[in-house]
Amino acid sequence: MHEIAEDDPAVMLYTSGTTGRSKGAVWTHRSMIAALQSHANKLAMNRASAPAKPAGSGPKGPRRQVALLVCVPMFHTSGLHAGVVTAMATGAKAVILEGRFRAEEVLRLIDEEKVVAWAAVPTMVLQVLDHPDLAKYDVSSLKSISYGGSPSSSGLQERANELLGVAVRVGNAYGLTETTSAIMTIDGADFAKRPDSVGRPNPLLEVRIVDENDNEVPTGHRGEITVKGAVVTPGYWRNPEASAISIRDGWFHTGDIGEQDDEGYVFIRDRAKDMIIRGGENVYCAEIEDRLEQHPAVAEAAIIGSPHPVLGEEVKAVVRTVDGANVTADELKAWAAERLAHFKVPTLVEFVADPLPRTPSGKVLKNVLRGEKPITVEID
C-alpha cells in the first residue's frame, strides 16, 4: 500500500490555452487543503465584519442546507475546487448544471433548488440577465454571485444588482488553474467601493507585482502579478521547460498585468500577452472593453491589436450589439473618447452577429479574433 504524502499529485487540470498550448497543472494534496483553509478564513472574516442581526431575526424552523450552483465545467478550477470540493468540505449541496450552459435552466435551478450562492463567469450572468423570462422565476433565495474567469464590466455588475437583487453580496474573484482556487476575493461593502478590484490576497500566500526583471514595483504601478504559497502548483505535467519559465524562485508568474493600492487591493488591468503597444504606449485592453460594454447598445466587446506600418499596432474593437440596437463605429469611438485617452480609442471597429468565441470557462479567444489557428490540447 502506497502512503500518500502532502506534496504528492492529487489532481491535474489543463490550462485554458487562450495564450498558448494548454498545459497540465498539477494540484497536490497540500495545495487543495491550503485553498480550502483560505476559503474558510475568508468566510470567517465575512461573518466577523457583517452587521449584527437583531435577536430573533434569524430564520424560523429547521435550517435549510445551503445550495451552491455550479455552472462552470469541472475541468475548470472554479467548477471543481471552488464549486464541488468546497461544497463537499462545508456540507453544502452542490447543484450541478448538466450539459451546456442554458440561462433558462439556471433560472429554473435557482428557483427549484433555492440556490443561495452562484459562482459564474461574466458571460453566464449576462445571458441570465438578458433572458426574456427572468421575471417568471423566483430568485429571492440567491444571496451572492461571484464572478471569475474573466474581467467583469461595471455595467454588468450594476445590472446584476438591479435585476437579481443581490447587492449585499455581489463579488469578484481571481485565481488560476495553477493556484488551485481563488487567491483573491472581494465582496460586500468592499466590492461596492472598488467594483474594479479583485480584492486582497487570501491568507497562506503572498502576492507581488513585478517588472520585467522580477523587481517589485512601487504601489500604484503596473506590473506582472506573481504568487507564492502552498496553493501554487509545483509545476506542469511532463513539461519542465514551461514550469521553469512560469515558476521562478518559488514565485508563479501569472502573465496578468495588475497594480496594488496602498491598502493592498489588487486591480487586474490585462493579460500581458493581450497588451497592445501602440507607438510606444502600452494599451490595456480590459479598460477599453469595460468602457464599450457600458454603452447600452453593446452586448459584448473585445479589443485586439491590429498591425500598423508606423505605430506597430493599432487598437481594434470587435463588437456584438444588443439585438435590435443600432450604433455606428463613430458613435462608439466618441463614447470611448469621453473616458479614455486618445491613443486608447479604437481606430477600427468590427461588428459581428455571433457571440464572441470563448473557452468553456468564459474567456474570449482573442487568438481566434486575430485570425490565428485555434490551439488544441495535447495530453501525453
CATH number of the domain encompassing residue 245? 3.40.50.12780
Tell me what pLDDT residue 143 has.
87
Instruction: Please indicate, yes or no, whether residues 220 and 352 belong to a single structural domain of this protein.
Output: no
The residue among 235, 251, 270 that closes a domain is 270
Instruction: Please indicate, yes or no, whether residues 263 and 284 belong to a single structural domain of this protein.
Output: no
Is 380's pLDDT higher than 70? no
Instruction: Please indicate, yes or no, whether residues 214 and 125 belong to a single structural domain of this protein.
Output: yes
Instruction: Please indicate, yes or no, whether residues 33 and 116 belong to a single structural domain of this protein.
Output: yes
Tell me what pLDDT residue 100 has.
86
Mean per-residue pLDDT, 353-372: 83
Instruction: Please indicate, yes or no, whether residues 215 and 283 belong to a single structural domain of this protein.
Output: no
Tell me what pLDDT residue 184 has.
92
Comparing 56 with 119, the larger pLDDT belongs to 119
Tell me what pLDDT residue 378 has.
36
Inter-residue contact 14 to 75 (CB < 8 Å): yes
SS3 242: helix
Instruction: Please indicate, yes or no, whether residues 85 and 103 belong to a single structural domain of this protein.
Output: yes
Confidence of residue 359 (pLDDT cuts 50, 70, 90): confident
Inter-residue contact 116 to 164 (CB < 8 Å): no
Task: Please indicate, yes or no, if residue 27 is contained in any of the structural domains.
Answer: yes
Highest mean pLDDT among 5-19, 307-321, 326-340, 362-376: 326-340
Give the span between the Cα atoms of 157 and 159, in whole angstroms.
5
The residue among 251, 270, 289 that closes a domain is 270
Instruction: Please indicate, yes or no, whether residues 165 and 226 belong to a single structural domain of this protein.
Output: yes
Give the span between the Cα atoms of 17 and 19, in whole angstroms.
6
Instruction: Please indicate, yes or no, whether residues 298 and 170 belong to a single structural domain of this protein.
Output: no
Task: Please indicate, yes or no, if residue 130 is contained in any of the structural domains.
Answer: yes
Q: Please state, as a whole number, how many other Cβ atoms lie within 10 Å of the Cβ of residue 328.
A: 11
Confidence of residue 280 (pLDDT cuts 50, 70, 90): low
Instruction: Please indicate, yes or no, whether residues 181 and 290 belong to a single structural domain of this protein.
Output: no
SS3 82: helix
Is 302's pLDDT higher than 90? yes
Instruction: Please indicate, yes or no, whether residues 237 and 322 belong to a single structural domain of this protein.
Output: no
Task: Please indicate, yes or no, if residue 243 is contained in any of the structural domains.
Answer: yes
Host H or E run for residue 252: strand 251-260
Mean per-residue pLDDT, 235-263: 94
Tell me what pLDDT residue 274 has.
80
Is 297's pLDDT higher than 90? yes
Instruction: Please indicate, yes or no, whether residues 316 and 199 belong to a single structural domain of this protein.
Output: no
Give the span between the Cα atoms of 27 and 34, in whole angstroms.
11
Within 322-358, strands assigned E span 348-351
Instruction: Please indicate, yes or no, whether residues 305 and 158 belong to a single structural domain of this protein.
Output: no
Give the span between the Cα atoms of 124 and 358, in whole angstroms.
11
Confidence of residue 59 (pLDDT cuts 50, 70, 90): low
Q: Report phi then psi at 45, rounded to 5.
A: -65, -40
Q: Mind listing the pLDDT tens digit for each residue in 166-221?
A: 644 677 888 999 999 999 988 877 887 888 888 999 888 999 999 999 999 999 99
Range of the domain at 234: 9-49+64-270
Task: Please indicate, yes or no, if residue 54 is contained in any of the structural domains.
Answer: no
Number of domains into which the chain is organized: 2
CATH number of the domain encompassing residue 287? 3.30.300.30
Task: Please indicate, yes or no, if residue 1 is contained in any of the structural domains.
Answer: no
The residue among 207, 235, 270 that closes a domain is 270
Tell me what pLDDT residue 336 has.
96
Task: Please indicate, yes or no, if residue 379 is contained in any of the structural domains.
Answer: no
Comparing 276 with 22, the larger pLDDT belongs to 276
Task: Please indicate, yes or no, if residue 374 is contained in any of the structural domains.
Answer: no
Task: Please indicate, yes or no, if residue 200 is contained in any of the structural domains.
Answer: yes
